[in-house]
Structure 1
Amino acid sequence: MEPKVLRKIIHVDMDAFYASVEQLDNPELRGKPIAVGGSENRGVVSAASYEARKFGVRSALSGVLAKKYCPEIIFVRPRFDRYKEVSAQIRKIFLEYTDKVEPLSLDEAYLDVTENKKGIPSASIIAEQIRARILTETGLTASAGISINKFVAKVASDYNKPNGQKTVAPDEVIPFLENLPIKKFYGVGKVTAEKMYQLGIFTGKDLKERSEEFLEKNFGKSGPYYYNIVRGIHNSEVKSERIAKSVATEHTFSENLTSEVFMLEKLEKTAAELERRIGRYGISGKTVTLKIKYSDFSLQTRSKTFPYYIAHKSLLFDAAKELLYQEKMKESVRLLGISLSNLNTEEKKTVAVQLKFDF
């Protein structure tokens, strides 16, 4: 049996990226609570500065609530071209250390530095250098998590935010995960956390005491995932060829919809949400697909392909509206979704190389 190969993984996460770029470019916004996107009357916040977060303003919060929580909030229009420009600068820094870079969005990425171009044996030192380079070359701060796999690295990157880093060495992984509040586990959302609380699971240690059968019974396919991650088992590699094939947003309604007028209202909001997601990834596409799930749980998809790339919510909504009216509804509707595919991404081939771990 071959010895287990340990990896050195860094998760770099920019601090309040969109808001920080706006404060960097406009000195008058520095030190003030700002929200990128949304307004006091409508819309949703895409990002909030740390000054605004103190009041409870977060991404995905409505602009109305943001204004209520923080009356002094300043709403700023997003500039995705600028964010992509800065993101490209940061990506160049990553690539000076390793070719194994897996971007998750414009503001975060995984790096596998098990083997690195600088020949630096310590992943922690590499993370320090990268963060210092980002600050010097862009004027922005970043946080980082360093560990043996992507899961622990991502959790660790949130530990000393903003402008900090945390290393979880191989012999520290299990104690780190056992002491971690369950809501801090990446992949455990609010609903799942509440369910775990009801089952008496509040920390990683509590989770570890549950059998795989118990977790699978209560959490379905996610059960084995939870069983493994709390034991430090997460074998997903950093894939620099990671290419999104489509981007989608969908919503299940508390009450089935029968009126197309109400459906259009929901689709308009869904198109706006999809535009924000596309903007985060800095991509566009040609094919719009409308997903419809009826009250009898039957599923239907309808698609339209443009001769050019699109990303704007108005075009997404117009296409979805056309597809909605394409044929008559057969039942009331419980779910609507819009996806964009045929993306302007380029596939790349990479070779994965793993060497002995030297933390």
Structure 2
Amino acid sequence: MTEGNFTDYVKIHVTSGKGGAGSAHLRREKYIPQGGPDGGDGGRGGHIILRANHNMWTLHHLKFKRHFKASEGLNGSKQTSTGADGEDVYIDVPLGTLVINTDTNERMKELLEDGEELIIAKGGMGGRGNNHFKSSTNQTPRYAQPGTPGEEGNFTLEMKVLADVGLVGFPNAGKSTLLSVITAAKPKIANYEFTTLKPNLGIVEYRDHRTFVMADIPGIIEGAAEGKGLGHYFLRHIERNSSLLFLIPADADDIRKQYDILLDELKRYNPELLDKDKLVAISKSDMLDEELKAEMKVELDKDFKGIPYMFFSSVAQTGLMELKDKLWSMLNEKSVTD
């Protein structure tokens, strides 16, 4: 999937179908000149329904089609025949899509299960035919109910990337390079900040043909939790990741300080993010010789006491299998405990 085809935020306008009118027909047949009412009910108008689809990864299909209208229910007819219901309109969205009523700012639901549905605009009810209104004092009612109008509204769809591992780091930490090396994803890579403007997903092939999904979340900067830069736009994608991989380059001025800043941004955005499994990976370690790496380990053992860390290099392709092993272990332990 190219970055240009990845869309994770759209606004749509929907109109459900109007209900059909009930019939005021009176039975008039040969030899039955004064038959009673036999008008049928009108059909229900079509609903507008969102449906989660695990085969979808983006909202790109809604980028250029944002108006949806369901058909009206048909009117009732004689012999108490009910009109056909209007056809429902289904809008498929990826798992992890949050639905917000733009008109009321209500956060309605987050669709997380395949096939899960949410009616965002109910079709109007069909009117009742005159057959419902006959009584001992009014045996030939000549009226019926009209159908009720459908609903109309504006909705915002926000997609949060569903992945097993989310890459967290400052711009230029090497996240896109790692993803390009251990998956078939081809993210944009360049030596300037915010090269990645949309999340990139890749499938990591592990031992015995097993796989897991990794997401390159665009780089965080200080103040991201307050929306600085593209902060909120980036951070919401981390909420749905099972585990977090913190990437910090080996040439960083202070590795522990960078980790603390990243952790603080996540905490201020959503404290629950700190409950996820975390692994610190020191990228670009091909720049280190064994003596320098040994010196750094002494300091890192003190700074990251109780926090797992490891060295790797995407360019030299060293430490990648060990990184996969550790991530798989984290994910497997998490699935067992869950």
TM over 0.5: no
Q: Which has the higher helix share?
A: 1
Could you state the TM-score of these two structures normalised by the residue count of structure 2? Answer: 0.22
Could you state the TM-score of these two structures normalised by the residue count of structure 1? Answer: 0.21
